[in-house]
Amino acid sequence: MRLEWRINGEGRSADIRPADLLLDVLRESFGLTGAKPGCRNGDCGACTVMANGLPMKSCLMLAVEAAGQDIVTIEGLANAPAQRAFIEMFAFQCGYCTPGFILNVHALSLAHPQADEATVRSWLQSNICRCTSYEEIREAVYSVLGSARGTIDATNG
């Protein structure tokens, strides 16, 4: 079936199977390989994109479900605050989880520019980073959010 999406601000269309996942269509039909398969089970968040402004795991979404939606992949961000912050704070190493993390943080910063600690934690726990300690990512998130960054709370269980 032929479907259309708005991807990174451009109208795009492709012939797909209804069984195709958004993740695979982005990668295979549009070459947007910044969306990474990490588990294909909704557990790791490496494939996170934005769909109509919300972070979505593109491995948990049929491409047909997203038809007509406004999709933003990492390739659609240019010099976004989250991208700059991740570089400055050394918030990645291997870089594989990074597009998913950045899109989640970008969406968070748009939805909750003054997000509190609980909201940040809830959103950021959707992604797994296996290289960093998460402290670097925390620094990056708070530098983007611009809210007064709490002191590092040693009791944050």
Partner 1 sequence: MIGFDFDYYRPSSIEEAVSVYQRLEGQGRHPVYLSGSTEFITFARVGLMCSGAVIDLKGIPECRMLAAGEREMTFGAALTLSELDDSKAFPLLGDTGAGIADRTSRNKITLGGNVCSRLIYKEAVLPLLLTDSDVVVAGSSGIRRVPISRLFDREMRLGRGEFLVQFIVGSSYRSLPYASVKKRKASAIDYPVVTVTALAAPQGVRYAFSGLCAFPFRSEAVERALNERGLPPEERIRLAAGMLPEPILSDVKASADYRELVWRLTLTDVMEALES
Partner 2 sequence: METIGQSVPKKESPDKVSGAAMYTADRIEARMLHARYVISPYAHARIAGVDAAEASRMPGVRAIVTGQDSDVLTGEELRDRPVIARDRVRYQGEIVAVVVADTEAQAKGAADAVRVRYEPLPVVHSPAAALRPDAPILHERLGEYVRGAGVIPIPGTNVASVIRIAKGDMEQGWAESEIVVDNRVTFGPSDHAAMETRSAICEIRPDGHIVIESSTQVPFAVKKYIASYFGIDSGFIIVKTPFVGGAYGGKTAIHLEPIAYLASRAVGGRKVKLVNTREEDMVTSPGRIGLDAVVRLGSTRDGRIQAAQILYHFDGGAYNDKSSDVARAAAADCSGPYAIRNLHCECLTVYTNHTFPAAFRGYGHSELTMAMERAIDKLADTLGMDPWDVRMINSIKPGDIAPTRDRLTRSNLGDIQTCLRRLKELSDWESSFSRVDDYKVRATGISCFWKNSSIDSDAGSGAILLFNPDGSVNLETGVVEIGTGTKTVLAQMVAERFGMSVDRVHVKFAVNTLDTPEHWKTVASRGTFMAGRAALKAADDAIRQLKDIAAAVLKVVPEDLAIGGEKVFLRDDPSLSIPVKDICYGYKYPNGHAIGGQIIGRGVYIQRRIEPLNPLTGEGTPGPEWGVGAQAVEIELDLRDCSYRLLRSISVIDAGRVLNLKGALGQVMGASAMGLSYASREAFYYNADGQVLDPTLRDYTLMRYGENPAYTVEFIENPCLEAPFGARALGEHGLIGMPAALASAVSRAAGVRLNVLPLFPETVWRARNGGEGTS
Shortest Cβ distance from residue 126 to partner 1 (Å)? 4
* Contact indicator for 25, 63 with CB cutoff of 8 Å: yes
* Contact indicator for 92, 82 with CB cutoff of 8 Å: no
Which of partner 2, partner 1, none binds 21 (CB below 5-8 Å, type-dependent)? partner 1
CB atoms within 10 A of CB 19: 9
Which of partner 2, partner 1, none binds 62 (CB below 5-8 Å, type-dependent)? partner 1
59 contributes a contact to partner 1 by CB under 8 A? yes
Phi, psi of 60 (to 5 degrees): -105, 15
**How far apart are the C-alpha atoms of 35 and 61, rounded to whole Å?**
13
Nearest residue (CB) to partner 1, 26 versus 88: 26
Contact footprint for partner 2 (CB under 8 A): 17, 19, 27-28, 31-44, 46, 73-75, 77-78, 83, 86-88, 90, 92-99, 102, 121, 124-125, 127-138, 152-157
Structure-derived torsion over alpha carbons of residues 98, 8, 31, 101, reported in degrees to the nearest 10:
10
Residue numbers at the binding site for partner 1 (CB under 8 A): 1, 17-21, 24, 40-43, 45, 48, 54-57, 59-62, 64-65, 104, 122-123, 125-127
